[in-house]
Structure 1
Amino acid sequence: MAIRPRQIRAAIGAAFDWLERRLEAERGQLPLWIPVALGLGIAAWFLLPGPAAWLAAAAGGGAVALIGMGIGIGRRAGAALFGLGLLVAIGIAFAWVRAERVAHPVLERPVTTSFVARIERVEPLPARDLVRLRLAPVDAVGLPTLVRVNVRAVDVPPGAGTGAEIRLRARLMPPASPALPGAYDYARAAWFDGIGATGRALGLVEVIHAAQGSGAGVRNQLSAHIQSRIGGGAGAIAATLATGDRGGIDDADAEAMRRSGLAHLLSISGLHVTAVVGAAILAAMRILALFPALALRVRVPLIAAGFGAAAALGYTWLAGAEVPTVRSCIAGLLILAAMLLGREAITLRLVATGAFVVLLLWPESLAGPSFQLSFAAVTAIIALHSHPVVQGWFERRDEGRLARLGRALASLLLTGLVVEAVLTPIALFHFHKSGVYGAIANLVAIPLTTFIIMPAEAAALLLDAVGLGAPLWWVTGQAIDLILAIAHWTADAPGSVRMLPAMPGWAFAAMLGGGLWIALWRTRWRRWGAVPIVIGALGALSVPPPDLLVTGDGRHVAIRAGEGLALLRDRAGDYTRSMLGEAAGVDGEAQSLDTLPDARCSADLCLADVRDADGRTWRVFATRSAHFVEWTAMRDACAVADIVIADRRLPAGCVPRWLRLDRATLAETGGVAITLASGTVRTVRGPGAHPWLNPPTVMPPRPVRPVAPPPMPVGQ
């Protein structure tokens, strides 16, 4: 039976009526989707390849907004569609404008050069015996506007502080693109940070004009003071908690904190800002209460809230104003305002406001793990404890201390489990690993940090003014040592880390969207959010790990060998080994390719047989040195290989049976991940016109060599 137009109109009308009823029931939740719609537009700009696609997406958003206007702004469905379309278009425009506003030249290729520069920022990295300098070259032809250089601590002379003018010789290179698919994209981060080159200094730095005063900055001075009072790893973490300076934390402690699920303690966020604001308000109220004449005439809570706001702003500035800190500061200020107005302070609207402000100011933060982790955690906590069932479980009641303590611990454990479940997909997407026992570790670490470490450290800093802070520094150090012990014990426990190779973007988006659907709605249709979560999780878990990984320079090759990895070059550094392991979803020490029974290697070449998931054998041929290889040997090896990999340019006569990855090819593709059974080849570089992919470039001129004078004629 044919469907008549009247029936179609009736079905569409019924669908809109159903949607209208659902949105009317959720009218209080609709404002929470404002930052989500804005973020959707920002994400579209990052994911789509170029201007034509960006304009088409913005036009699509405008079309959705017009449809909403056609339905009627007075109706919930019409207003929702209008707002969604408009905010998506605005998000695309904001991201595009922001990327163009920070445009700057980037170094074209690696170079060693001498130049004069003004120091913009000093970041001590004592755990690595380095100092990181952010430099603005002065009258330097062919250099970017800002460069970042690592200098050995012993090569930094006195006076080389913020504002100083120095002369140095450095090896510089363009900001690095991801070495492998799914790896960290520093080139994108450097574009928005204004950095056009990175590198390391060669030799001693010469100070031309010394910095005024110490030149160290309040943040660095405070970090140095804290580490002088508490030594070792505890002192480095104490400095991080106060200033956000992570340079003193050694790699072992940092990795243990990540594997145990405690790394969030090292990011200045809501936990730390709340402790600072709460301590400031409590101290202000106690001090004001000592003056009855003042306390009886003014609103003490209002003045105390002002001190709390000042503490939040000062702490945010001191900690470097990173995204989690800014978000927490905004949230703290909104909470104080709500309390003064007699409104409910901690709500999802507060989180939405903070997210909206951050996205307006720094739209690029959406693409980074810091924004996603911090806002996901806070949203999950508030959504969980605003649920009527959970509120009934943990609301205050007349009961004994032991029962009250047990209820508080159960609340903390449930919160930790929910936050762990929410953050796991984000951690797996960005870092390819996630801690398993984080909820248990946080059960001890969070109260210890909130109620002992932060107050004791703040009081110790105040008492240091009169030389009485030593006892509290001891308490702080002992408490941090306990957290480090928990972190190392948890990290070393069997099965403490889940590893997963790079998941598809659609799977991550499905899980993220499903989580937002559950968290932001109140009625029963929130349960439908479980469907995309399950689909996304199945998609992420069903992706087979890559059999072969090749970095963008062709120097490092990793082949899957059972449950581990085999590396082409034994001298690969810790960072390279970790990056290859994360991309492959492998946790453990990699072996050498020489040790595989199906590999035949010399100092210059390797020929290995690799079996895929279907049992087929693939022959891989790779170069492992820069030495000359006889042409006939190279040609014969290429002819019997399925895949050839080289960090040099191969001659045209080198023709493998399937794939050739030499310097010329990798320059176009970037790093490569290959799944042999399906023949899937994932590359770092694809179609795209984002400004950090093809930036304007500069290059210092080559130094002019002096020409020797011609020899004098004989007899003159």
Structure 2
Amino acid sequence: MGEGGLLSTLAERLLAERDRWPLWLPVFLGLGIGLYFLAPHEPPLWAGPMVLVVLAVALVLGRGRLALFLLVSAALAMAVGFSAAQLRSAVMAAPVVERPTGALMLQGRVLEVEMLPDGGSRVTLDSVAHDAPEVLVPAKARIRVRPGGAAVAVGDRIRVRALLMPPPQPAMPDSFDFARFAWFRQLGAVGTALAPPEVVEPATGGGWRARVNALRQHIAQRILAVLPGDRGAVAAALTTGDQMPISAPMMQAYRDSGLAHILSISGLHITMAAGLVFVGLRTLLALFPSVALRYPIKKWSACLAIAFAWGYTLLAGAPVPALRSFFMTGLILVAVLLDRVALSMRLVAWAAVAILLWAPDELIGPSFQMSFAAVAALIAAYESLGPRQAAWKADHPGPLAGAGLYLAGVVTSTLIAGAATAVYGVYHFNRFAVFSVVANMIAVPLTGFWVMPWALLMFLLLPLGLEEVALIPMGWGVEGVNQVAVWVASWPSSAVTVPILPLSGLVVFTLGGCWLCLWRGSWRWWGAAPMALGLASMLLVRPPDLLVDGRGEAMAVRTADGRMLLNGKGGRILKDTWGRRAGPPAPERWPKKSSSRDGRLRCDELGCIWRVDGRVVALVRDETAPEAACAGADVVISAVPLRGGCRGTKLVVDRFDLWRRGPHALWFEPGGVRVETVATSQGDRPWSWHPHPRKKKPPEPRPAEPRPEPVEPDRGVEEE
């Protein structure tokens, strides 16, 4: 087939499926948003609007030529996405603390309280003020409060002595950027309380957000009062979206078993809740013939279901999966009110458009990607499987056949959703739950048919103070799900760490998946080729050979067997990130005044010498004799300022370089040493690390103070 024949065939197939063209709108919006976040520098504010005007004029002029019209329309959608992300970044701009502070007296209004498994809490403050004039005042601050103090409520204005620090930068290049996440939530500081907080002014009303957060905190506390431990913590997560009280081992069990999606209020929960309200109210009203025959009870039930689903979404904090599910469920129920039939794939597309325009930054998070990938894949699959299932059911009546069809549906849906989301889980977390199908086959029906109905009854009984009647049987079901998670996670190799998937591979895979899901004809299978190429890109990625954090304190080098030998420094998040993205940690300890098992690394009081591929790398930790520490080295990594020392060395990275550019990753290749830094991966963006030197001031005697504790990102960020 010649070039002209191929173009003619493509044009015919495009025209044959022109009713599917609107489904590509969120794809091109997403491409534009992605281009904004990939920009190495913050574009000027006029860039997006100017391109929009030019493309809008071109769209009007190109209406007579279909090919030109389609190309300009796609470019215009990308420009809209780019401009939406640019506007969102500018609107959310807020002060960020420049450097770690000393102890200061902090005041603020409690916006959110999250209970922690150790009995402490994580408190988010707005309307912040403090007594340190040299420190910027953030719009919001999040502090960790140790257990033992008086409880604070949402809406209280509190005063607390605390240490603050900027939102932490990525632990290594191209890893999760909490600073960017915090920027789009106006979170300008994180830290640790040094003493129990003092309530200056009790809560008095506040905005609707404060009232919703207060209600969430109140419901979670009442659930935990009836159901202690992980049973109550998981029940609170299912009803309020707060996953923080869940213990670390139980959370890890949910991740390793592939059940973490159950803890995130999403399609399963919103759809079940709305469906239970709709069916329950309609059934109740149908018991009264005088009402059922005279009034539109179906529409009444739809209205109440919409209201309940919206309230449930707000109570959960309106995460992306819940918003997507509410939007789709709400449109379906609106169609019931209008006596119309809703088209499911279009619902997904318009839900994606609404979220991308309202919060474009959600595109780059795992929640958005995994949520929409699962739903789009399920709808696309059942557009083909649905008629076949209906025909099979008609040919095989009876309860046994129905039960078999249900079981097959659960397995099929789990396989489809698991396959669609697995790649995004690999990209963000480098983990794959091997036995998720088995866990979901048991846990999903148990959640849908036992836990959620009791959760709905619990909401109805809360105002009467009778929630215990529903919580106790609900707790039985939650405990069953917990046991399934622990049981499956205990199997050998239940969750495996997989290599890094590059961003380019993820984009190619996603575009191929969109082609496969959004078209209906046989040419949809062309999308399988880019999906395979995207996955194959994992084979081209080689993890770094040496890692060092932004202070020069934590270091890791690759051993002869391919593992990473860590020097024991750094927090839990750093070690976890390095272990997932660079390789499993070596079982041995970093040598102090000896050699590693493979003989590559040898340390003394001045530092360490690491030999790899014929190169000598000096890891310096003592600034008293830098020339001696790095004599004969090809590469020097120093935790102390060298101030021109180590002359003649090919590559020197000292304390000042680490301070300016953040954590470094090094690859030792035949052609030389490749270096990547957090600064280069972030670019010059508003949320990037911009080092600020300390202002000189007269020394003052002050007692030693602890450092702020490592910040743990929201679990909603880590898991869908």
- 1:152 matched to 2:152? The reply is no
Q: Distance in 1 between matches of 2:696 and 2:445?
A: 58
Change (3 A) 1:400 1:366: same
Alignment correspondent of 1:123: 113
Q: Distance in 1 between matches of 2:358 and 2:696?
A: 37
Asked if 1:191 is matched to 2:179, the reply is no
- How much does 1:440 deviate? 2.1
Shift of 1:333: 0.6
Say if 2:566 and 2:590, in contact at 8 Å, map to a contact too. Answer: yes
What letter matches 1:23 in structure 2?
A: L
Look up the match of 1:179. Answer: 171
1:401-550 residue pairs with structure 2 within 5 A? 401-463=399-461, 470=468, 472-550=470-548
3-state secondary structure, aligned to 1:666 = helix
The alpha-carbon deviation at position 89 of structure 1 amounts to: 1.0
1:605 corresponds in structure 2 to 607
In 2 relative to 1, CA 592–547 (structure 1 residues): closer, same or farther, beyond 3 Å? same
Contact 1:501–1:583 (Cα < 8 Å) also in 2: yes
User: Could you tell me how far apart the structure 2 residues matched to 1:242 and 1:659 are?
Assistant: 54
Q: Which moved more, 1:527-536 or 1:218-227?
A: 527-536
Alignment of structure 1 residues 226-625 onto 2, 5 Å: 226-345=223-342, 347-387=344-384, 389=385, 391-393=387-389, 395=391, 396-397=393-394, 398-463=396-461, 470=468, 472-561=470-559, 565-570=563-568, 572-586=570-584, 590-594=587-591, 595-598=596-599, 599-602=601-604, 605-610=607-612, 616-623=613-620
Deviations 1:451-478 (A, max 9, x none): 1111122224434666665564333222
- Per-residue deviation at 1:87? 0.9
Identity of aligned residues (%): 36
Change (3 A) 1:488 1:58: farther
Distance 1:394 1:577, change over 3 A: farther
- CA distance in 1 between partners of 2:153 and 2:692 (Å): 29
Which one is further off, 177-186 or 513-522? 177-186
Counterpart Cα distance in 2 of 1:381 and 1:222 = 33
Deviation at 1:17, TM superposition (A): 4.3
Q: Is the 8 A contact 1:327 1:355 kept in 2?
A: yes
Which stretch of structure 1 is more off in the superposition, 148-157 or 542-551?
148-157
One-letter identity of the residue aligned with 1:608: W
Cα distance change, pair 477–564 in 1 and its aligned pair in 2 (3 A): farther
- CA separation in 1, counterparts of 2:331 and 2:294? 26
* Whole-angstrom distance in 1 between the partners of 2:415 and 2:571: 35
Between the aligned partners of 2:464 and 2:169, the Cα distance in structure 1 is: 50
* Structure 1: distance between partners of 2:697 and 2:124: 24
CA contact (8 A) 1:177 1:185 kept: yes
1:45 Cα deviation from its structure 2 partner: 0.6
Q: Name the counterpart of 1:204.
A: 196
Q: 1:3 maps to what in 2?
A: none
User: Which is further off, 121-130 or 13-22?
Assistant: 13-22
Q: Does 1:219 align with 2:216?
A: yes
C-alpha contact 2:562 2:583 (8 A) present in aligned 1: no
Letter paired with 1:21: E
Q: Of residues 13, 16, 34 in structure 2, which corresponds to 1:25? A: 16
Change (3 A) 1:696 1:683: closer
SS of residue paired to 1:555: coil
51-60 or 511-520, larger mean C-alpha shift: 51-60
Residues of 1 paired with 2:50 and 2:431: CA distance?
38
Say if 1:455 and 1:690 are closer, same or farther in 2 by CA, change over 3 A. Answer: same
Alignment partners' CA distance in 1, 2:642 and 2:696: 30
Q: What are the residue-to-residue correspondences of 1:53-68 with 2, within 5 Å?
A: none
- Corresponding residue to 1:39 among 16, 30, 53: 30
Contact 2:620-2:630 at 8 Å conserved across structures? no
- The answer to whether the aligner puts 1:92 opposite 2:90 as a matched pair is no
> Which has the higher mean CA deviation after the structures are superposed, 494-503 or 318-327?
494-503
Q: Secondary structure at the match of 1:111?
A: coil
**Compared CA separation, residues 590 and 137, structure 1 to 2 (3 A):** farther
Is 1:167 aligned to 2:162, yes or no? no
Aligned to 2:711: none
Aligned to 1:685: 679
Among 630, 633, 645, the alignment partner of 1:638 is 630
Change in Cα spacing, 1:421 to 1:637, as seen in structure 2 (3 Å) is: same
Q: Distance in 2 between matches of 1:603 and 1:113?
A: 33
Pick closer, same or farther for the CA change 1:589–1:347 going to 2, 3 Å.
Answer: farther
Q: Residue 44 of structure 1 contacts residue 54 of structure 1 at CA under 8 Å; is this kept in 2? A: no
CA displacement 1:556-603 (0-9 Å, x = unmatched)? 1122235564444335443232111012143x6754222534132346
Helix, strand or coil at the partner of 2:640: coil
Which secondary structure state, in structure 2, belongs to the residue aligned with residue 28 of structure 1?
helix
Answer whether contact 1:260 1:437 (CA < 8 A) is retained: yes
The answer to which of 476-485 and 569-578 deviates more is: 569-578
Paired with 1:500 and 1:57, the residues of 2 have a C-alpha distance of: 38
- Matched residue, 1:711: none
Partners of 2:648 and 2:161 lie apart in 1 by 43
Question: What per-residue deviation string (whole Å, max 9, x for no partner) do you get for residues 506-541 of structure 1?
Answer: 111111111111011111221111111111111123
Evaluate the alpha carbon distance shift between residue 491 and residue 591 of structure 1 in structure 2; reply closer, same or farther with a 3 A threshold: farther
Summarize the Cα distance change of 1:367–1:298 in structure 2 as closer, same or farther, 3 Å threshold: same
Q: TM-score, normalised by structure 2?
A: 0.87
Task: Quote the residue 2:709 is aligned against.
Answer: none
Contact 1:104/1:145 (8 A) holds in 2: yes
The verdict on how the C-alpha distance between 1:603 and 1:650 changes in structure 2, with shifts beyond 3 A counting, is same
Shift of 1:443: 1.3
Runs of 5+ unmatched residues, structure 1: 1-10, 611-615, 707-716
Q: What secondary structure does 2:170 align onto?
A: coil
Aligned pair count reads 682
Q: Is the 8 A contact 1:24 1:76 kept in 2?
A: no
Q: Does the Cα contact within 8 Å between 1:122 and 1:131 map onto a contact in 2?
A: no
Greater mean alpha carbon deviation, residues 347-356 or residues 671-680:
671-680
**Cα distance in 2 between the residues matched to 1:455 and 1:600:** 62
What letter is aligned with 1:206?
E
Distance 1:572 1:36, change over 3 A: same
Corresponding residue for residue 124 of structure 2: 134
Give the 3 Å change call, closer, same or farther, for CA 469–137 of structure 1 in structure 2: closer
- Aligned equivalents of 1:539, 1:122: Cα separation in 2: 41
Q: Equivalent residue of 1:118, what SS? A: strand
CA pair 564-574 structure 1, distance change in 2 beyond 3 A: farther
How many angstroms does 1:427 deviate by? 1.0
Higher CA-based Rg: 1
CA distance in 2, matches of 1:704, 1:555: 26
Equivalent residues of 1:222, 1:243 under 8 A apart:
yes
Q: Which runs of 5+ in 2 are unaligned?
A: 702-720
Aligned to 1:613: none
Farther-moved stretch of structure 1 (392-401 vs 687-696): 687-696
Does structure 2 retain, via aligned residues, the 8 Å contact 1:394–1:407? no
| 1:674 equivalent in alignment to 2:666 | yes
Contact persistence 2:116–2:122 (CA under 8 A): no
Amino acid in the other structure paired with 2:291? L
Segment drifting more, 45-54 vs 272-281: 45-54
665-674 vs 695-704, greater mean Cα deviation: 695-704
**SS of 1:197's equivalent?**
strand
Moved more, 593-602 or 272-281: 593-602
Counterpart of 1:652 in structure 2 is 644
From the superposition, tell whether residues 578 and 429 of structure 1 become closer, same or farther in structure 2 (CA, over 3 Å): same
The residue number in structure 1 matching 2:73 is 83
Q: Output the aligned Cα RMSD.
A: 3.1
| Distance of 2:251 and 2:430 partners within structure 1 | 16
Matches of 1:572 and 1:704, distance apart in 2: 29
The 3-state SS of whatever aligns with 2:18 is coil
Q: For 2:4 and 2:63, locate their aligned partners in 1 and report how far apart those are by CA, in whole Å.
A: 16
